[in-house]
Each structure stands twice: as structure tokens, then as C-alpha cells.
Structure 1
Amino acid sequence: MDSLQEVEIRNPNPTTLEVNPTVEPPPEPVRKRRTEDDPYAALGLGIGGLTVFPVLRAGIIASDNPASSDTDRKSDVGVRLRPSLRITSDWVRHELLIEGDGDFIAYEDMSENDTNDASVLSRLRLDMRRSTTLVLDAAYELSQDSGAENEVPNTAIGNRTDQIISQNIALTHRAGRIAATVRAGSDWQYYGDVDLAGGGKEDNSDRDYVEPIASLRVGYEDSPAFQPFVEAAYVPRIHFDKRDRNGLERSSEGYRFGAGVAFDPSPLWSGELALVYALRDYEDPELETLDVFGLDGRVTWRPSELTTLDLILATGLNETASADSSGARTYIARLKAAHDLRDNLTTTAGAGLTYEKYQGTGETELTLRTNAGLLWRMNRWLAWTLDYDLIYNDSNVPGNDYYENRVTAGIELRR
């Protein structure tokens, strides 16, 4: 049961209306051989009842526009590190999952455009009774936006660094064919300051907020093939500063409703789709109420043991610092594919679209991200990697259009 959020997708098994999820990679393709018989499968490190899977990708990256510039395009090369860690439990009851990954780029000449992205998730599932499950999770996400984004000044030097800290508790109880999940938690959003050309700094502390969440989901589990559900969530946003830089009260009441179906009719198909409606009503009367209607969900298709396709959809409402806008309606669609050409040769490809339209100002931003990769394993521990990424940004704000090509070649070390 996977679900999505307002802007990014983060947790492996969130409820449909969970706020601020991050996009997770599609599951690894099912191999023809069992893991213990596969000479290229990672074995991990056994520590008590836990298995640890560390991975480090390191390589050289070449970019034709690391500054995300519309008119002054300059290329550069650098070093790219992509560490990741996965810890799973091997318990008879209960389950523990810890996942973390990062993507760090350091350029040779344009160090102000170095990027740092990272995320960490921990989830503990406790089987209280046969029909009752308690899930505790916590997550951290570090991300960056450049001056080419609508919410970052064009005169910004380098990137704006944002952080999200999340924690949730969910209790699920099944009575016959009815399953009900009650969830409570919060997301803490922090926006970094930005250095500006010519001196000075943009202070973004007035944008920081906490977003509590309380949700109820009720599903009818007639069969594993199709399980319809409805869900409602209350998600207010409380800004730490009562008024922002424009003198507006940005705190708001938020509501989100959904109806959909979780399905797993065969080994070929699984996923969850829901129609969602979200509404945000702001404390300041000058800010108009903002709402959005769309799709949330994830569909996984496994046409063969060697191929996996993963589609993610998300709809949400984003914040803004503009005095003339309440916020932005956001729509996300991402498709990822993985195929094993051989037991030790895997190809990957993906494409993602993010569309934002700001209420009041009419500003729009469409971002396309595509990628293709090749992973050639020498043995269980070492692989050669080759990746290509294209980022294309189309905005009706002058100076915010840009495109960037990246090529990364390196190695992967794992245990």
C-alpha cells in the first residue's frame, strides 16, 4: 500500500493522504535465481536479527549547466558520491526497516553550485495482536533548489537548502472485512537562507512551519485483489512567525479527502490509486482559499521476472512567499523502469513531470527530469555504473527557463 503527498514522496508504505512523502525507487526486479544461488546478489552483514546492506556509488560527473542558467550556460566537471544504507529485520514477529541515501556533487570550478541531497527513513511495525498493528516511523529529508526555481530569487548565489523532519504513529485494526487506520504525526519544514549577488542575504525563516496531521482511513478487504477505501485527513500548517515578510498571516487550516482502491490481482500488477481533494484556508483574509483535485497513487507492473515498471502520481498544494498568491497547485507524475539484460547487467530509465500553477499571479512552472542508467556487476561487491540525466525547466517567469545535461561514470561498492 503506497501513497503520495503534496509535493514529494518519501515513505515506503504511507497512507494515501500522508503529507510530504518523497519519491522512492521502484523495487528491484525479481531475479531468475534465488539470492543464495545468485553470484551477483548482495549478501549484507548479519548483526543479530538485523541485516545491513551498505552501498557506495562514486564517480566523475560532467554537466553542461550546473548553475541552471537560462542565458549564461557554462560547463563543469566534478565528483559525485551516492551512498545508501538499508537495514532490515529478520524477526518472527514485528519488523524494523531503516533506509538512507544521499547524492552529493562537488564541482571543480563552480563550487557555489555544489549540491547536497539526502533522506533517512526508519519504520517499526509492531504486531500487537493478530488483527491489530502499530507502526512508528520517522524521516529526515535534505533538498536544494537553485535560483532557476520560481521560489528562489534569480540573483541567488548557489542553492537554497531545505529540510523536513517527520514523525508518525499509525494504528490499524481489522474487524472482519473492515480495516481502519488512525494516524497522527507532524512534519517540520525549514527553509534555508540564500546568499544574493552583490551582497546581502534572503532570510527565509518566516517560511518555516510545522504541519500536524490526523487522518482516518477505512477500507473494505473483500479480497487481496481489490480493496476499496476512503480516507480523510486534517493537516493545518502553523508558521513559527505569525506574519511573513509581506505582513501576511500564512498559517492555515488544511483538509484532504480521498477515495480509491488498493489492488494486487496477480504477480504482474499491484498498487493503489485514489481520487483526492485538498483544501487550504488561510488565517489572513487577503489570502484566498486554495483547493485542488487530482490523483494520488502508485502502480507497479512486472511483465516478466526481469522487468519492473513503476508509476507514481501525486497531487498537492505548495507554499509560496509571494504577496500576491496563496500558494501553488502541484501535480506530479513519475515513471521508472528497470530491466535485467543479464544476471549481472541491469538497465534503468525514468521520466518525471512536475507542474505548478500559482494562484493569483498566474505563474506556471513545468519541470521534466529524465534519466537512463547502466549497471554492470563484476561480482557481489563491485560494479561499473553509467548514468545520463536531463533536467528541463519551462516557466512563464522571464529568466527561469533552463536545461541541463549530466553524465556520470563510476563504480558501485556494496556488501
Structure 2
Amino acid sequence: MLLAAIPVELRAQTAGTEAGDRIGAEATQPVGQRDGANSDDRAAPPALPSSLETQSRYDYNSEVVDQALDRYAAGLPVVSDHGSAPGMRGTPVRDRRHPEYAAPGLQLGSWKLSAQAGASVSYDSNVLRDADLDSKGDFYSRAFAVAGIASDWGRHSLGLSANFSHRFYGTYASKDGSEYSVDASGRLDVAQRSDLTLDARHSREIVEPFRSGGITGLLTQVRFDEDEVEGGGTFRGGRVELGGSAMLGRRRYVDAITVAGDRLDQSYRDYDRMRLEASAAYLLTGANAVFLSYTRDRRRYTNSIASVSPDVTTQELIGGIRGEITPLIRGQIGIGVLRSDYDDPALPTTTVLGLNSKITWLPTELTTVTLLGVREQEGSVRQSDGGYIATRFRAQVDHELLRNLLLLGQLEYEHDDYRATSRIDDIYRVTLGADWSVDHHLRNNIRIGVGRRSSNALARDSLSEFRITLGTGYAF
């Protein structure tokens, strides 16, 4: 199911929800009084949350949450300054709106324009991602901008967002590179609790070489262009919710340059993708639902050079509970089955325990803990390896030291188990940081992070890194 049509980088929340302007004052009303229901529960049928509130409470997209946590760790803008009302119980720290520090944005009739631009300076101890750390460190700066315009209508929505960042390295100038994305989305409310959504996105991204199987010893970054279009719909009637979506995408890699000056062809990693999703949920209480979801993801490689075909179909069946599990715990707990079928009989079919859980816990009104656990099928740089099953766990703690000073701690662990070989990679990362809002416009942050990738495959595939970043931004 697609998230609602508001700018991607401005809509991603730490909790994986969309607790923002779209919920409105309705979220503070007793459940029995929403949607015009009679406050006397004995005389009225069960009252359900409205379409917008229901979606905000249990539409948890793990990919969006994961991207948001990545950008938090890098100190890049993620959360809109127009979050939930101050003091609303159960609102995560980073989703709260503080009017005295909120960027005003620009109201254009029934449209709202928000933007932020800034720069940062960083030091990376292992730029070339090599096991030998001697003389591989470098300073680099980054310029970034993010902007979005979204409709401010009572029904339906349209949105357009874009973000851009460029890195400038001191010694290894060949590592300079840009990332950007453009996203257009829309939602059509066809009934009180039902809607249709459409989202189209184009992006240029830099591959994180610290990930499992990343290519080491490159003078340039590995980049790819990706196009995706996704349509979906949700029907809500009584206590039942049915949803479905279909996505078509393609990824095309850009060639890289090795330390020896050779061109490294990356086109063998290009693939076309088709993903189908279907889900059903039954509302137990005003903000809790049991659910069952099925996903079928097909990747077809267009320029494979391996002796075996890496084309793979992944199917996932997940069930569990989502919503407000307790008054202070919100999110989704989902487990099930994950199965990967390769077209080539030389690669083994794999069936493992599926995991897709995202939890936000508020132990105090000043502290929010976000937990993310997912298991996914990933493609390998070496196609003959048959890809790997990635199990990722993340924990992020946000603490409101002052109304305008947020502290951050993030811990990540990833276990990557390859299918056709005995290779196993383990990745550990720790990030500490702080975000300081000086006034309505000026934002400052600091990030300090360490990481370690260990592998039983090759000695050079085990890496370590240390990073520190100081950044500033101006929000409009």
C-alpha cells in the first residue's frame, strides 16, 4: 500500500507513520465521537477511525522507515516541521511541532510549499573502503537541498517533491558525486474510508559500499538510476480493510573506475522489477488491527554475465498486529515466511522465517525509541553467489533535551547469509548525534559514527570506518 501523496522526504517519520497535518483535530477526539458517531456506544454501531487517521496509525512502510533512518544518521533533512500538535500524548519526539521553531513554509492558495537547503563538512577514515586503512581517510563537504509542494485539501491530495545532494572530496576528488530524486504522488478518496493512490519516482543514487558484497578499492562511486511507478488502493468497510498495489521499476548502473584506472562494467547488475502486494486487516479496537499480507517480487536481470541466471522471484507472507499496540507502543509486529525461487536450477530455492516489524515506544514524554526488524532478499555483486538473505535490526533513541535540541543514538546490526556459497557477512554501526533548531529557519547538527563489516569470504571484504559530520541548514 502506498503512503499518502505528500513529499517523500518531508513525509518520512521515525515511527514510519504520517502523523502530521493530515490527521488534524479529529485525532484528539474520543473514538466514539469520530465520523459523526453517537457518543452513546450502546445505541450506535462501532465507530471506526476516519480513512486518514486509520492510515496514519497503521500504514508502516519498512522501506520508507529505513530510508528515513539512513538520512537521520547522515544528518540530512527528513521530517516536516509541521507535525502533530504540541503536547499530544503518544507523539514521537521527532514528529512534534514546536511553533516557535517551525519553518513557516509558503502557502500558495490551497497548496503548501516547504524547502530546506544546507551544507555539511565530514571526515571519513576509509574512503576507498579497503581493509588497509593507511592513508585512506579524507575530508569531504556536501551541499544539499530538499523541497516539496503538497495540496491542502479536505479530500484527495497531490504532491511533488525533490531532493539533491553533492559531495566534494578533498584528496580523492574522483569520489565526488551527486544524488537526487523527484517524486510525484496523488491520492483519490473514492469513499469515506477508501482511496486510490499513484506514485512515480526517478532517482540517481550512490551505492553504499559498506553494505555486504560492496566493491572495494574504487576511485569512483558506484551509482545507479532508478525509475518506479506504483499504483494501489485501499477499501475499508465496517471492521475490514483490503488493500493492494502493483509496482513496475527498473535500475541501471553506471560504470565505475578502479584504483588501477580500469573501467569496471556495472551493466551486468541492471534489472527490471515487478512487485505485487495484497493485504487484509480486521480492526479489533479503535486503533488496533490484525493483518495478513502477501508480496510477490520479481527481478529479471537484463545483462547477466554470470554462468548462472540470477533472475529471482521472492514471495513473502506476513501476518501480525499493527496500530496502537498499547497507549505508548505503536507500530507493526509481523512474522511469516520468505521464499526465494531462482530461475536457474543451479541456485538453491530458499525458504526462511519472514520478518517485517516496526515499533515506536515512548518510555517517557521526552524520549522515543524506534525499533525496526526486517528480512529481505538482496542481489549480490557476484551474481554466481545467488544473492543473500539480509536480516536487519535497527534501534534509534531520540531524546528531547530542550524543545529545540534533540539528541540521537542509533544502533544497526545486519546479518547477510549468501545462498550459493558459505559466505556470511556481519555489519555493525553506531551513530550518535544532536540536532539544534536555532530559530524558525536555522538548523544545525552533528553526527559521529563508527562501523565494522566482517566477512568470512576474503580478508579485504572486512572493513572498518569512522565518520564525523558537522552540518547546517536553512528551512523556508
Question: What's the TM-score, normalizing by structure 1?
Answer: 0.87
- Residue 328 of structure 2 corresponds to 268
* Count of aligned residue pairs for this structure pair: 408
Map of 1:47-86 to 2, 5 A cutoff?
47-74=108-135, 75-86=137-148
| 1:406 has 2:450 as partner | no
Q: Tell whether the 8 Å contact from 2:312 to 2:340 is kept in structure 1 after alignment.
A: yes
Question: How far does residue 141 in structure 1 lie from its aligned partner after superposition?
Answer: 4.3
Quote how far apart the aligned CAs of 1:331 are. 0.8
Change (3 A) 1:139 1:389: farther
Q: Check whether the contact 2:318–2:355 (CA below 8 A) recurs between aligned residues.
A: no
Structure 1 residue 225 corresponds to structure 2 residue 269: no
Which ranges in structure 2 are unaligned for 5 or more consecutive residues? 4-8, 18-57, 73-78, 89-95
Shift in CA distance, 350/142, structure 1 to aligned 2, threshold 3 Å? farther
Report the AA paired with residue 232 of structure 1.
Y
CA shift in 2, pair 1:148/1:179, >3 Å: closer
- Number of the residue aligned with 2:234: 172
- Change in 2 beyond 3 A, CA 1:43/1:20: closer
Amino acid at match of 1:175: G
- Which structure: greater strand fraction? 1
Equivalences for residues 391-402 of structure 1 within 5 A = 391-396=451-456, 397-402=458-463
Deviation per CA, 1:123-142, whole angstroms, max 9, x where unpaired?
A: 32211112421111223444
| One-letter amino acid matched to 1:63 | D
Whole-Å separation in 2 of the counterparts to 1:21 and 1:410:
22
The residue that corresponds to 1:368 in the other structure is 428
Partner of 1:157: 219
The match for 1:300 is 360
SS at match of 1:41: coil
| Bigger mean CA offset, 358-367 vs 259-268 | 259-268
- Is the Cα–Cα contact under 8 Å of residues 16 and 274 in structure 1 kept in the other structure? no
Percent of residue pairs identical: 21
Q: Which runs of 5+ in 1 are unaligned?
A: 4-8
Offset, 1:93:
0.5
| Contact 2:60-2:358 at 8 Å conserved across structures | no
C-alpha separation between the residues in 2 aligned to 1:131 and 1:40? 34
CA deviations 1:248-285 (Å, max 9, x no partner) are 22223332211111121455221112113222222222
- State the Cα distance separating 1:107 from its structure 2 match: 1.3
**What secondary structure does 1:314 align onto?**
strand
Shift, 1:116, TM fit: 4.1
Q: CA deviation at 1:21?
A: 7.9
Give the deviation of 1:395 after TM superposition: 1.8
CA–CA separation in structure 2 for the residues paired with 1:30 and 1:21? 18
C-alpha separation between the residues in 1 aligned to 2:167 and 2:126?
Answer: 13
TM-score calculated relative to the size of structure 2? 0.76
Match of 2:313 among 245, 253, 277: 253
Q: SS of 1:399's equivalent?
A: helix
Residue 67 of structure 2 aligns with which residue? 23
- Which of 196, 201, 206 in structure 2 is aligned with 1:144? 206
State the Cα RMSD in Å: 3.1
**Which residue among 394, 399, 402 is the counterpart of 1:342?**
402
CA distance in structure 2 between the aligned counterparts of 1:141 and 1:290, rounded to whole angstroms: 31
2:246–2:275: 8 Å Cα contact kept in structure 1?
yes
Higher mean alpha-carbon deviation, 197-206 vs 312-321, is at 197-206
When residues 16 and 190 of structure 1 are mapped into structure 2, their CA distance, relative to the original with a 3 A threshold, is: farther
The 1:100–1:272 alpha-carbon spacing in structure 2 relative to 1, beyond 3 Å, is farther
Superposed displacement of residue 330, structure 1: 0.5
